[in-house]
Amino acid sequence: MKAVERLQRDHKILRAKLDVLESALRMGPQTWYVLRETCFTLSRQLRDHIRREDDLVAACRMAMNPKILAEVVVAHHDEPEHLRMINRLFVSEGQRSFDQIQEALTQVIEGLRRHMSEEEAELFPIFDRVLTDQDAIAGVSTEPPARFEETMTVNRIIQQCPQTKPVFEQLFINIPVEGCTCLDEVAWRHGVESRDLVHHLEEVAHSCECAHKVTATEESNLTLQLSEAKEST
């Protein structure tokens, strides 16, 4: 999945979370715990999205309009801070602050939706153009492609490399229930950084691959030695 496509997928996920928040707000104080848990999840998802976006901003900085760049920096500071403030209200104030939560969350929802629309109209085309130019200059990469991506499901990864199954079991991931869930969502649910999980899975797959190559080489050498011994007799 290309970098810009990954950001677009992030926006789709974030908008879905905002829709949940908006619906829960309309239902009133009885949705307090739904609002709280959705806000906590949204905070983590937004943090990871901003990290990915900042990486692209750094790569494309020279091609960006300074005004757009400044707006991105401000938004990336303000939005997580607003959510942190709301999360603190959930922890400290209880249901008595529902009106305050409702007002603050409404502002966050409207601000995030507006910001994502602006990014898709102004920022993403810049990313796409610059990264395409960079790929054309760099040519074909000599590095091996990554085996796993954050958008792959647990089942698909285990199917490709069964040796990764213990990694999920050690994190108490319920494979029969969560097997059709993407890595990034599973990581969020279990309090793990998605990139760390992918890196760990890559290491396991690579070590198994190396072990397989070593075994194959040893078998080949043994066959050759037996053949030479047979010829010498």
Q: Same domain for 84 and 180?
A: no
Q: Count how many domains the chain has.
A: 2
Q: Which of 28-37, 149-158, 213-222 has the lowest mean pLDDT?
A: 213-222
Residue 91 within a domain: yes
Q: Which domain holds residue 179?
A: 154-228
pLDDT of residue 195: 78
Task: Clarify whether residues 90 and 171 are in a common domain.
Answer: no
Across 166-194, average pLDDT: 86
Burial classification of residue 40, based on how many CB atoms lie within 10 Å of its CB (0-12 exposed, 13-18 middle, 19 or more buried): middle
Burial tier of 127 (Cβ tally within 10 Å: 0-12, 13-18, 19+): buried
Proportion of the chain above pLDDT 70, given as a percent:
77
Residue 35 maps to a domain: yes
Residue 148 in domain: no
DSSP labels, 206-220 = HHHHHHHHHHHHHHH
**10 and 119 housed in the same domain:** yes
> Is 113's pLDDT higher than 90?
yes
Q: Is residue 71 one of the residues assigned to a domain?
A: yes
Q: Is 58 within a domain?
A: yes
State whether 22 and 128 are in the same domain: yes
- Residue 49 inside a domain? The answer is yes
- CATH number of domain containing 111: 1.20.120
